Amino acid sequence: MSELDDLYQEVILDHGRRPRNFHALPGADRVAEGLNPLCGDHYKVFLRLEGDRIAEVAFEGSGCAISKASASLMTGAVKGKTVGEAERIFTAVHALITEGPDRADPAELGKLAVLSGVSAFPTRVKCASLAWHALKNALHADAQVASTE
């Protein structure tokens, strides 16, 4: 494994152990749920919008380290962004996780490049993308539960 892979793995382990923005958001005006029955990952994503901007974002629930780390990284990446910017980040992350690093726009990814290793593990793709699908549903005020199935 390369040094970069080691670094990426360390970041993911850290976010899995100490997830950021990991709490309910009482003032949320958007809530969406994400469920990955294959692994048992189950989260709620909360958003509070100010106009077109994501003023606050948080999540709660439980699941494996990858799903929790990805959700934690997601909250850090989209906080303060506009809905349009958050959608572009979603697109870049989705491409990164499902198709690999060559398919994602590095400018949109920034720190999220740490998720690049996930594409090599097909069984973990659903874990890593779960919170992002829930985010997308929340942005669109879609009340449906985002399921990876």
**Smaller CB distance to Zn ion: residue 30 or 41?**
41
65 touches Zn ion (CB under 5 A): no
Binding mask 78-117 for Zn ion (x = CB under 5 A): ----------------------------------------
**Smaller CB distance to Zn ion: residue 82 or 98?**
98
39 touches Zn ion (CB under 5 A): yes
The nearest distance, CB 66 to Zn ion, in angstroms, is 6
C-alpha–C-alpha distance, residues 104 and 106, integer Å: 6
**At residue 31, what are phi and psi to the nearest 5 degrees?**
-135, 135
